[in-house]
Chains A and B, each alone.
Chain A
Amino acid sequence: MADRMLMKGNEALAEAAVRAGCKYFFGYPITPQNEIPEYMSRRLPEVGGVYLQAESEVASINMVFGGAGTGKRVMTSSSSPGISLMAEGISYLAGAELPCVIMNIVRGGPGLGGILPAQSDYFQATRGGGHGDYRLLVLAPSTLQEGVDLTTLAFELAEKYHNPVMILGDGFMGQMMEAVEFKEPSSTQSADAEEWAIGYMGKRGKRALVKSLYLDPEELEQHNHKLQKKYDAMTQNEVRYESYQMEGAEIVLAAYGTTARIARSAIMNLRREGIPVGMIRPITVFPFPYAPFENLSPKSVKEILVVEMSMGQMIDDVKIGVGKDIPISFFGRCGGIAPSVKEIEDQIRKIAG
Chain B
Amino acid sequence: MSEVKIFERPKSMCDVITHYCPGCTHGVAHRLVAEVIDELGIQERTFGVAPVGCSVFIYNYIDTDMYEAAHGRAPAVASAAKRVRPDMIGFTYQGDGDLASIGMAEIVHAANRGEHITVIFINNAIYGMTGGQMAPTTLLEQKATTCPFGREPRVNGYPMRVAEMLATLAAPAYIARACVAKPKYVAKAKEAVRKAFQTQIDGKGFSLVELLSTCPTNWGMRPVDAANWVEEKMIPYYPLGELKVPDQEVTN
Contact = CB atoms under 8 A, between A and B. Distances in A.
Contacts of B78: 66
Interface string A217-248: 00000000000000000000000000000000
Interface size on B, as a range, is 20 to 34
Contacts of B59: 209, 211
A204 B169 CA distance: 39
Interface in A49-98: 50, 52, 54-56, 58-60, 62-67, 69-70, 72, 74, 88-89, 92, 96
Contacts of B81: 66-67, 69-70, 198
Contact of A50 (B43, B76, B84, B109): B84
Interface size on A, as a range, is 35 or more
Interface in A6-34: 24, 26
A132 interface: no
Given A50-B83, A59-B106, A199 B67 contact: no
Interface in B18-75: 43-45, 47, 49-50, 56, 59, 63-70, 73
Given A55-B106, A199-B65, A63 B85 contact: no
A202 interface: yes
Contacts of B180: none
Nearest to B88: A199
A52 B110 CA distance: 11
Contact of A65 (B63, B67, B108): B67
**Most chain B beta carbons < 10 A, residue from A26, A56, A65:** A65
A296 interface: no
Contacts of B85: 70, 198-199
B224 interface: no
**Most chain A beta carbons < 10 A, residue from B45, B65, B69:** B65
B70 A52 contact: no
Nearest to A49: B84
Nearest to B47: A198
Contact of B67 (A60, A64, A72, A210): A210
Contacts of A271: none
A275 interface: no
B235 interface: no
A198 B70 contact: no
B67 A198 contact: yes
B51 to A, nearest CB: 11
Contact of A201 (B44, B77, B83, B105): B44
Given A24-B80, A52-B79, A59-B105, A66 B67 contact: yes
Main secondary structure of the interface of B (DSSP, over half): helix
B19 to A, nearest CB: 10
Contact of A62 (B56, B106, B108): B106
Given A56-B105, A201-B43, A201-B64, A62 B83 contact: no
Given A55-B105, A59-B105, A202-B44, A66 B68 contact: no
Given A66-B78, A198-B67, A89 B73 contact: yes
A69 B83 CA distance: 12
A58 B80 CA distance: 13
Contacts of A124: none
Interface in B93-150: 105-106, 108-109
B47 to A, nearest CB: 5
B44 to A, nearest CB: 4
Nearest to A198: B65
Nearest to A98: B67
Contacts of A69: 47, 67, 77, 81
A70 B47 CA distance: 10
16 contacts: A52-B80, A52-B83, A58-B76, A62-B106, A65-B76, A66-B69, A66-B79, A66-B81, A67-B80, A67-B83, A69-B67, A96-B68, A207-B63, A207-B66, A209-B65, A209-B66
Given A24-B83, A66-B78, A208-B66, 4 more contacts: A62-B70, A65-B76, A69-B77, A92-B70
